[in-house]
Amino acid sequence: MRNVDEEHSGKPDRPVDAEIRHRTAGGIAVRIVWLTLLLLFPLKAFSAEPYARAVLEDGGKIVPGQQIHVTVDVFAPNFFTSPPQFPLFELPNALVTLPEERSVNLNETAAGIQYSGIRRRYAIVPQIAGDYHVPVIAIELGYSVDGETVRGVAKTAALSFTVEGGPAGGTTFAARNVTVDQAFDRPPASLKVGDAVVRTITITAENTQAVIIAPSKPGAATGLKQYAKAAKTQDGIEIDRRVVSRRTEALVYTATTEGSYSIPAIDYPWFDLERHETVVAHLPATDVTVMAETAVAGIAPDAEPERARLPFEQRRRVMLWIGLFLAAVAAAWALWRFAKASTRWFVAIWKDIAASRPNRIRLLRRAILHESPAEVYKKLQAWSHEEGFRTLEMWAQSKDLDLARHLRGLEALLYSGHGGDFDRKRLARLATGEGATSTQLAHSVLPPLNPAS
C-alpha cells in the first residue's frame, strides 16, 4: 500500500486548504501588530483625555446692548495639577469680558472615570443686530495621569446666537431694575456769587456691567459755569440681596453772577429686559437762586492816623521778634532738609531689607503658615520663578522628594474636588530649605563635572 502523503506530495494544494492557511496567517499577523502597539504605547497613551463644553445662557430674545453669558465647563481626569487658563476671544461688534466671579468646582463620572471640573462664565454684550458666532475656545490645563503631570488642551464646540433689531430711538443699553437718582451737596436755592453746587447722578442696574451703563445727557445750565468730573463705575455691589452695577456722575455748577437760573431736567432712556420695551427715567429740573456777595462789616480806619515815633525800647522789642521769626524760619528749613535726607536714607535701607533673601524667606514662611491654600500656591509659584525655575514642579523636584509630595497634596486640595491635605509647618521648612532630607529626586541626566577616576 502506498503512503497517502507520498501520493499527494507532488500535487498542488486544494483551494479550501489554501484559504484556511491564508486566514490563519492573517490572524497571527493581526495579533503581532496589536502586541507590538501595546509594547510601544503603554496604556497611558490610551487614557482619558480632558474635555470642555460651552452653553449659551439667556437664549431668548436678545437685543443690542443686552448682556448674555456663555458658561464654559472644563473637565480633566483625576484632578487638575494647574488651573485652567480661560482665554479671551474676539467677537466682531460685541464686547467680550471674563468677569471676576468665583469659579465653580464640578465633579462628573464618564465611562467609569472620575473627572474634576471648573466652571467660568464669559459676558458678551452685542452692539448691533445680526448673527454672532462664538469661536472654539481652547483652554490649556494640567492634570494628573498615573501620578505624573500632563499638559493638555480642552476645546469647546462653536456656538451661535442671533440678536434682534434694537428698540426704537437707538437705545443701546439693556438691563433689569434700572434706577436713576440725583442729589445736591448744598441747597441750590441759596447760593452766593462764587459758590459752587455739585449735582451727583447715580445710575444702578442689574444684569449688566458698569462700563456698559450709558452716560446721562445733562444738557447745559444757562448762566452757570458747568464742569463734569470723570464718571466712576462699580460692579458687584450688594443691595437688598441683589448684586448690581453702578455708574456715578458728578457735575459742578459755579455761580458767577446773581440772578435766578435752572439746572435742566434729564430724561434717561433704557431697554427693560423684563417688559421688553424702552423705559425713560426722568430727573426733574432744579431752580437756582444766586445772591450778591455780602460785604463784611468792620471798623473803618482813621482817615489820617498820626504817625508817632516808636521809643527805643519798643523798636528793640520789634527787632527782637523779627530776629526770632527769622531764626525759627531758618531752623524749620534746616529740619526740613535734614528730614528729607534722613527719609531717603531710611527708605533705601528699608528697601534693601525688604529685598533681602532672609526677609523674602520670612514672608514666604508666614504665607505658608497662615494664608489660604490658593495664596500659598501663588506665593510658591512666585518663589520658584525668583529661584530661576520655569515651573513650580521643576523647582520642587530639584529640592526634595518630601517637598514634591507636600506640593502634590496642596494641588489636590485646590483642584481635585476630592479634598486633599498638606502639612503647613513641614511645607514651610522644606520650601525655605530648613527641612531638606537626603531623599533627592532622580539623578541628573548630566554627567558629573569631576568624575571619579
3-state SS, 281-350, equals EEECCEEEEEECCCCCCCCCCCCCCCCCCCCHHHHHHHHHHHHHHHHHHHHHHHHHHHHHHHHHHHHHHH
Instruction: Tell whether the model's pLDDT for residue 307 goes beyond 50.
Output: no
How far is residue 232's CA from residue 247's CA, in Å, rounded to a whole number? 6
- Among positive and negative, which fits the CA dihedral 180, 184, 189, 194? negative
Q: Which domain holds residue 59?
A: 51-163
Which of 143, 163, 183 is the C-terminal boundary of a domain?
163
User: Residues of the chain with pLDDT > 70: what percent?
Assistant: 79
- Both 151 and 179 in one domain: the answer is no
Whether 5 is in a domain gets the answer no
Whether 309 is in a domain gets the answer no
What integer is the mean pLDDT of 232-238? Answer: 90
Number of domains in the chain: 3
Which has more confidence, 221 or 301? 221
pLDDT of residue 87: 94
pLDDT tens digits along 404-438: 887 888 888 777 766 667 788 888 888 887 655 54
What integer is the mean pLDDT of 305-329? Answer: 77
Whether 298 is in a domain gets the answer no
Which of 245, 267, 291 is the C-terminal boundary of a domain?
291
Q: What CATH number does residue 278 fall under?
A: 2.60.40
How far is residue 229's CA from residue 245's CA, in Å, rounded to a whole number? 19
How far is residue 19's CA from residue 14's CA, in Å, rounded to a whole number? 9
- Both 139 and 201 in one domain: the answer is no
Q: What are phi and psi of 439, to 5 degrees?
A: -90, 70
- Both 146 and 213 in one domain: the answer is no
- In the structure, what pLDDT confidence band is assigned to residue 35 with cuts at 50, 70 and 90? low
CB-count exposure of residue 412 (10 Å: 0-12, 13-18, 19+) = buried
Mean pLDDT value across the chain: 81
Whether 256 is in a domain gets the answer yes
Instruction: Tell whether the model's pLDDT for residue 295 goes beyond 60.
Output: no
- Among positive and negative, which fits the CA dihedral 424, 427, 433, 439? positive
> Which of 155-169, 208-222, 233-247 comes out lowest in average pLDDT?
155-169
pTM: 0.52
pLDDT of residue 420: 65
How far is residue 118's CA from residue 140's CA, in Å, rounded to a whole number? 13
- In the structure, what pLDDT confidence band is assigned to residue 452 with cuts at 50, 70 and 90? very low
pLDDT of residue 20: 53
Torsion, Cα 177 182 185 187, to 10 degrees, reads -140
- Both 190 and 159 in one domain: the answer is no
Which has more confidence, 374 or 302? 374
- Both 123 and 222 in one domain: the answer is no
Instruction: Tell whether the model's pLDDT for residue 144 goes beyond 50.
Output: yes
pLDDT of residue 37: 52
Which has more confidence, 284 or 10? 284
What integer is the mean pLDDT of 394-413? Answer: 80
pLDDT of residue 89: 93
- Both 199 and 126 in one domain: the answer is no
Question: Which residues, at least 6 apart from 438, have a Cβ–Cβ distance to it below 8 Å?
Answer: none
- Both 190 and 83 in one domain: the answer is no
